[in-house]
Structure 1
C-alpha cells in the first residue's frame, strides 16, 4: 500500500460506464476515461466519492461555442423531473453495487467511518455512494430514507441547474458565485433531514446564497467535494475566501478539482498546464485556512484535466509536486486522505 493513499472527493466514473455503448470492464486496464481498477492501483487511489448524476436528455453544450473576449457564460440545461432522476439514480447506484459484487473484495461500498479506515488500511478501494443534484429526492423525503438504507452517505443539493431545493452556479468566467437566490424552504428542510440521517451535505455547485443558508442550518462540517479557490481562478464554480473561512471554522474540508478552467487564473480551457496549478490551490487554502481543511476532489471522468496528470495514474506525480512545494509527510497524509476521514467520521456520527 502506498504511504499516501488518495481518497478522492469526486468522480463520474459510474456515469461514464453507464453512458458508454461498449465500455471496457472496470476491472481491466484501458485508456478509456480516467479511472479503472488497475490504473487506480498504479496511481495509489484508495477510493472516493462515486457520484450518481442524472444528465438532461438530448442536451449537449460545447463551452467553446460560448467564448467571448470577456470570458464565457455557458447556458444551463432546464430542470429535470423527479421521476426521471430517480430512475436514473437507481440505475447508476445498481451499477456501483454490481461493481462491489464483482470485485472479489477489491472494492467496497463503505457506510461507516470504521469501514473507510479499514479499507484504506487493507488496500481495498473504498467507494462512497454520492448523489450529485437532489432531483431524485421527493420533498416528503421518502426516497432519501430508502436511498440512505441502500448506502447513500453524501448528497449534493444541486448540480448547477436549478431544482426544487435551490439554485446552482453557472459555468461563467469571470463571475462571483453570488448568482441567484438561496435554498428554498424544501432545501432547508433537506439539509435538516440529512443532518438527522447522517448524510453529508455537499455544497459544490451551490450558489453563494445557498451556501450561507446551509452554513446557518447544518450541525455538520461544511464540505465542498470538488471546488477551488476563487481568488486564484475567478470562475463562478469556485469558493470565495469568506466561504473558505467558514468551511475551516466548521472543521470542514474542500476537495481540489482538477478541471483546467477551475485551476487557471484566466479560466481557460487549454490543458497544457503544470501540476503546479493544482498545488497552487492546495497551498492557498492550506496556508491561509489550515492544512486540515483541504483535500483532493479530482472530478475524474467528469471534466477535462491537465495533460500533465492525464488520468488516475498521474497521482504520484501530483504528490511529488506537493512534496517539492514543501508539504511534510504528516500534512500529505491529511491532504490525501486524513481530512476526508475526519470529516466523514464527524458527519456520519
Structure 2
C-alpha cells in the first residue's frame, strides 16, 4: 500500500457540523461513520496517512448552478463574511482538532519530522490549514494565535472576496482572469506567512492574485487542490502559464478529486472515470515534472469519482496511476514526498 499525504480536505467542516447537530465529532472520527469521506478507519483502509485539514468558514450550502442548454454554468460568488462570527467558527474547528489530538485520534503536526513520525506510527498526521482567511484581522494578530495552535498553511481566499483578496467563481467554461488580486492587507499576509513559515495556497485565488503572490513570496508556489484548465476549463483550474510559474518556483500542484474539475464537461457527476484523473495527472507531470505534482483530494468538500467513493478507496487511484505506467518511485513522490519537500521549504526546515 502506498501511503498518501493529502494536500487538502474538509473533514473539520463535517465534524463541526456533527458538533452543531449535537453529535460527538471526536467519536465520529475515531470510530467511523457512513457520512462524508474521512474518518480514522477509512483512512487506515485506504492508506490515507495524513493531510492538510482545512479550517473553512461556510457560506451556507453552496449549490452549483445547473448547466444551460450549452452545458455552461456560473455559480455566483458567496458574499463576504464578517470577522467576528468567522473567528468564532474558526476557533470551534481548531478546538475540534485539538480535542482529536488529546484523544489520540490524530496528531497535529508542526514539522516534517512530526509528519513522518506520525505516519511511521500509524497515526493520522494532521496539519492545520485555513481555507479563506475571514477569521484573520487586517493587523494579523489572530494569525499569530492560530500559528501557535498549529496553523502551518493557508489560502488567502476561498471562492468569495475578503479583506485580503478576491476568489474565483465555480463556473464552466470560464477564464481564470476573473477579478482583482491581492489587497494591501493581502500583500501583508503573504509577507507574514513568509516570516512565520506558513504554506501559501493558491487554489481559489484569481489569476491576478496568483501573480501578486508570485512576485511577493519567497516560497515555492503551491496550488493544493487544482487541475488543468486546458483539459477542464473551469475558473478554478490552472492555465499553462500558471503551471510554468509553479514549476519555475520549485512548487507543486495537488490533483483535485472534485469531478467538476476533472470532467471535460465540468459537470457534477460522480460517474467520472479514473481515466479523467490520470489524464490530468499525465498533463501535470509532462508540464511540471514528477517532482512538482501531488494529491489534493478535497475529501469532505466536493463530489468525487464513485470509483474512489471515500478515503477507503484512495488506493484505487494509486492503482490506476500504476497501471498507467507510473513507477513505484514516481508514486512515492506523488503520494507524499513532494508534499514533504514543500512543507520543509515553507517551514524553514
Q: Same fold (TM over 0.5)?
A: yes
Cross-structure match for 2:102 = 101
Cross-structure match for 1:84 = 85
Matched residues, number = 343
RMSD over aligned CA atoms reads: 1.3
| Conserved 8 A contact 1:134-1:157 | yes
| Conserved 8 A contact 1:11-1:299 | yes
| Conserved 8 A contact 1:51-1:129 | yes
Cross-structure match for 1:8 = 6
Correspondent of 1:19 among 12, 17, 20: 17
**In 1: Cα distance, 2:270 partner to 2:90 partner:** 31
- Structure 2 SS opposite 1:25: helix
Where do residues 26-175 of structure 1 align in structure 2 (5 Å cutoff)?
26-56=29-59, 59-65=60-66, 67-103=68-104, 107-175=106-174
- Structure 1 SS opposite 2:51: strand
Superposed CA deviations along residues 124-172 of structure 1, whole A, max 9, x for unmatched, are 2110010000111111110011111111100110001000110011001
**In 1: Cα distance, 2:38 partner to 2:44 partner:** 10
Where do residues 280-319 of structure 1 align in structure 2 (5 Å cutoff)?
280-319=279-318
- Structure 1 SS opposite 2:31: coil
How far off is 1:281 after superposition?
1.1
**In 1: Cα distance, 2:167 partner to 2:297 partner:** 19
| Unaligned runs of at least 5 residues, structure 2 | none
| Conserved 8 A contact 2:71-2:265 | no
Superposed CA deviations along residues 170-218 of structure 1, whole A, max 9, x for unmatched, are 0010011110011111101110011000011110100100000000000
**In 2: Cα distance, 1:44 partner to 1:291 partner:** 21
How far off is 1:275 after superposition?
1.1
**In 1: Cα distance, 2:64 partner to 2:196 partner:** 38
